[in-house]
Structure 1
Amino acid sequence: MADAHDFAGTVPVREQHRFDQAALERWMAQNVEGYAGPLTVDQFKGGQSNPTYRLRTPGHSYVLRRKPPGELLKGAHAVEREARVMAALGQAGFPVPRIHGLCTDDAVIGSWFFVMDLVEGRIFWDAGFADVPRDERAAYMDAMNATLARLHTIDPKAVGLGDYGKAGGYVARQVARWSGQYLNDELAGRHPAMDRLVDWLPRHLPATDDVAITHGDFRADNLIFHPTEPRVLAVLDWELSTLGDPLADFAYHAMMFRMPPDILGGIAGRDLAAQGLPDEAAYVQAYCRRTGRNGIGDLDFYIAFNMFRFAAILHGVKGRAARGTASSAEAHAMGERFARVAELAWEQAERVRG
C-alpha cells in the first residue's frame, strides 16, 4: 500500500491533532502510576485511523492513542475497546503493551484516549523478513504463527471478554456489511469481480463457525519483535478486534502468501525456499498443530472473503478520494489497487468452485 518510510518513526504533532499538553500532564499525574514529568510529545507517522503519539519523560516512554477529533461514525475509532482487550490479554500473559489508563472525558484533550507503555523493539514492514539473515527468517515467521495461534486458544470468558462481540455468524455479518458498503457507494464505481463475489460469498459460507478472540489485522507490521531475537514482544493495533471466526482471522494473516509485494507486503511470487521461508502449506500445518486442527478445508473461501473485505475497504477509500477529499492521482491509485484485489479475490473463489 505504501512505502514503510511513510509510516515509520515520528514527526512533530500535526496541526489537526494538537491538544492541550498541560491538561494531559495533569491527567497523567493523577492516573498513571509513577508518572513524573516534564513531558515531551511527538506523533507517530502511522496510526492513520486513530492518531498515535509518543510521550517521553526523563524516566519513561509511553504511547497515547486517541479517537480523532471531530464528529465520528457511531462505533468507529473505539479506543476503549482497544484498551480493554489489551488490558485483558496482558493479564493473561499475552504479548501486548501494558495499559496505564483510559480517559473517556473529552474535556481533557478533546477526545477519548488511552496510555500504554512504549515497547522497544523492531517492526518489520516486509512479511518475508528480508532485513534479517536468511537462516533466521523461518523463525520469525514461526513466531508470528505461534502468537496468533496462542491468541485463538485463549478462552474469552476466562479473561473477561465473553461479551466482547457476538458469538457466531461473524463471516456472514462481515459479508453483508462490506457488500452493503460496496453497493451503496455508487460514486466509487462497480467491478465485475466484486459483483460476482457479492453474489457468491453468502451462498458458500463455511459450515463451521468457531468463536475466538480475533485481532482483525494481524500482520508483520502490527507486531513488535525483540531487538535481536525472533520473538514477539507486543501485538499492536487492536481496532478491528472482536469475538469472531479464528479461521477467518488466520486466513487474513496467511493472505500474505497470495498477495503481491506492493499490496500489504505480500510474498506471492517469491522463491520462498531460496529466501528461507516456509510455504503456505507448511505455515497452515504449523497453525493447525498449535490449535488442535487437522487442517483448514475452507482456506480458499476464507482467503477469498478476506480479499473481498480488503477490496471493499479500498473501494471506500476510492470513493472518498473521488468526492474530493484526496487528489485525483490518489483516486486513480486506489482504483487500480481495488480492481487488482477484487480480481485476486475472485481467483480465490474460483479455486473453491473447482
Structure 2
Amino acid sequence: MTQAKDAGNPAAEVRKEDAFAVQAVAAWLREHAAEPFRADLEGVPEVRQFAGGASNLTYLLRYPRRDLILRRPPAGVKAKSAHDMRREHDIQAALKPVFPLVPAMVGFCDDPSVVGSDFYVMERLEGTILRRDLPWDLTDEQVSTLCGRAWDVLMDLHSVDVAAAGLSGLGRGEGYVARQVGGWTHRFEHARTEDTGDWSDITVWLDAHQPPDVAARLIHNDFRFDNLVLSPDDPMRVVGVLDWEMATVGDPLMDLGGALAYWVEAGDDDYFQGFRRQPSSAPGMWTRAEIVERYCDRMGFAMTPERWRFYEVFGLFRLAVIAQQIWYRYARGQTTNPAYAVFGPAVGYLETRCRHLVTS
C-alpha cells in the first residue's frame, strides 16, 4: 500500500523477487516526471519496499529533496483488471481537482524496458497510516470523532459529481450489483485450489437475493483505515486516501458492504479478531450497525436489517475471493511472501461466516 510516515509498516529492504532497475526508473523520471516534481529528482534514489498490502507492489523512492511512491503489479498470474496501472493513475489524476484527498500524480510509464511492467509514480503524502492499533492515547470521544470523520470521507467520495470529474466512462450503466455478483463468482472459480470448500449455496443465495442498484456513484472498493493518511498535526483529520486500483462507478452500498467486511468490532469472535488490521475495535469506534445507520441517514438510502444482509454477505464473499486469489499465487509458488501463508485458512473461516448469515 502507498505509504506516508508509518511506524506500523516501515519501508524495508526490497525483496529479491520484487527488485527492479533503479537507475532505469531514475532516468525515466528525469525525462518524464510532471514539471513540479522534475527539479527535485537529480541522481538515483534510495529504494525501499513496503511490506503491507497483498496486491500491487509499493516502493518508497527517497531523493535528497523529495520522497516519491512507485506502484507496479506483482509477478505471476493475476487478475488483469486488478492491476491496471494506467487506469489507477488516470482515475487519481482526474479525481484530484474535485476530491483533493488523492495524491498528486508524478508520471505513468508503459514502457516494459524500464521495469518489465507498467508502473506509476506519485507524491508521498506526509502523515500517519493506522495499522492494527492506535499509536496514540486518545479518549473514547476522540476515537469516535476520528471514526466519524473517516466514514464521512467515504460519504464525501460517494457524493462526488462523476461527470464533473470526467469519470463517467468508468461506469457500465445499470446492473452493477448483478455484474459484481457474477464477476466475483467467476473470479473465485478460477482461483480454486485443492483446499477450496463448496461455496455453491452461498453464491446461489447471493444470486437470488441481489437488490437493484440504488445509484451510480464513484466508489473506492478498498476503503479502510490503512488506506487513509491522517494529518501529522491532527490525528483525527484525514488528509489522503490511497490505493485506487479497484475504484469505479457503481452502487455505493456495495462499496460500504465491502468496506465493512474488514471492520472487526469488539464483539466479534476470536478468529475474526485475528483478521483485524485496523483499530476498528478500539473503545470509541462505531459498530458496523452504527456505521450503516449513519451512512444511510446522510446519503438518503432506506435500509432494513434483512436488506443489509445481502451487502454484508457479499462484502465477506468478495473478501474471501480476494484472499483466495492471493492464496492461489502463494500455493502455486508464484510468490514467497510469508505474509500470504495465512490466506488459505482465512478463506475457510469466511466461508463459515457467510454461511451463518445466509442461513440465519
Q: Give the TM-score taking structure 1 as reference length.
A: 0.85
Distance 1:133 1:122, change over 3 A: same
- Counting aligned pairs with the same residue, the percent is 31
Bigger CA drift: 247-256 or 69-78? 69-78
Alpha-carbon distance between aligned partners in 1 of 2:112 and 2:209, rounded to the nearest angstrom = 44
Aligned residue number for residue 311 of structure 1: 320
Per-residue CA deviations over 1:57-111 (Å, capped at 9, x if unaligned) read: 2221111112335776543411111111111221113301111211122222322
Give the Å deviation of 1:247.
0.2
Distance in 2 between residues matched to 1:197 and 1:324, nearest whole Å: 29
Contact 1:314–1:338 (CA under 8 A) maintained in structure 2: yes
C-alpha deviation, 1:151, in angstroms: 0.6
Structure 2 counterpart of 1:16, one-letter code: E
Structure 1 runs not aligned, ≥5 long: none
Contact in 2 for aligned 1:137/1:277 (Cα 8 Å): yes
1:191 aligns with 2:192: no
- The corresponding residue for 2:3 is none
Conserved 8 A contact 2:176-2:251:
yes
Paired residue type of 1:197: I
The verdict on how the C-alpha distance between 1:265 and 1:85 changes in structure 2, with shifts beyond 3 A counting, is same
Partner of 1:279: 287
Matched residue SS, 1:187 = coil
Structure 2 spans left out of the alignment, 5+ residues: 1-5
* Alignment equivalent of 1:234, drawn from 240, 264, 271: 240
Give the aligned residue type for 1:63: I
Structure 1 residues 131 and 168, CA gap change in structure 2 (3 angstroms): farther
Question: Once the 2 structures are TM-superposed, how far is the Cα of residue 137 of structure 1 from its aligned partner?
Answer: 0.6
**Superposition deviation, residue 118 in structure 1:** 0.5
Aligned match of 2:116:
110
Q: Which amino acid aligns with 1:241?
A: A
Does 1:216 find its partner at 2:225?
Answer: no
Q: 59-68 or 40-49: which moved more?
A: 40-49
Which residue of structure 2 lines up, in the alignment, with residue 248 of structure 1?
Answer: 254
Deviation per CA, 1:297-319: give whole Å up to 9, x if none.
62211010111111223334444
Report the Cα offset of residue 205 of structure 1.
Answer: 0.6
Task: Quote the RMSD (CA, aligned, Å).
Answer: 2.9
Residue 15 of structure 1 corresponds to 16
Distance 1:236 1:156 in 2: 19
Q: Secondary structure at the match of 2:49?
A: strand
Paired amino acid for 2:273: P
User: How far did residue 325 of structure 1 move?
Assistant: 4.9
2:344 — aligned with what?
335
- 8 Å Cα contact 1:103-1:112 kept in structure 2: yes
| Number of positions where the alignment pairs a residue of Structure 1 with one of Structure 2 | 340
The corresponding residue for 2:74 is: 68
CA distance in 1, matches of 2:350, 2:287: 21
**Deviation string, structure 1 residues 120-175 (Cα, Å, up to 9, x no partner):** 1111123x747441331111111111100011111211101001132232222222
> Cα 1:231–1:186, aligned 2, differ >3 Å: closer, same or farther?
closer
Question: RCO greater where, 1 or 2, for CA within 8 Å and sep 6 or more?
Answer: 2
Distance across 1 between alignment mates of 2:93 and 2:347: 35
Cα gap change, 1:188 to 1:171, in 2 (>3 Å): farther
- Deviation of residue 326 (structure 1)? 6.9
For the pair 1:144 / 2:147, whether they are aligned, the reply is: no
Counterpart Cα distance in 1 of 2:164 and 2:293:
27
Structure 2 CA distance for partners of 1:118 and 1:187, relative to 1, 3 Å: closer
1:31 lines up with 2:43 in the alignment: no
Q: Distance in 2 between matches of 1:286 and 1:342?
A: 28
Q: Structure 1 residues 16, 173: CA separation in 2 closer, same or farther (over 3 Å shift)?
A: same
Is the 8 Å Cα contact of residues 7 and 45 (structure 1) preserved in structure 2? no
Q: Partner residue of 2:161?
A: 155
1:223–1:232: 8 Å Cα contact kept in structure 2? yes
Distance 1:331 1:117 in 2: 28
Q: Distance in 1 between matches of 2:170 and 2:210?
A: 23
Structure 2 residue corresponding to 1:120, chosen from 108, 123, 126: 126
TM-aligned CA distance change 1:7 to 1:237, over 3 Å:
farther
1:347–1:13 CA distance, 2 compared to 1 (3 A)? same
Deviation (angstroms), 1:226: 0.9
Q: Which secondary structure state, in structure 1, belongs to the residue aligned with residue 171 of structure 2?
A: coil
TM-score between both structures, scaled by the size of structure 2: 0.84
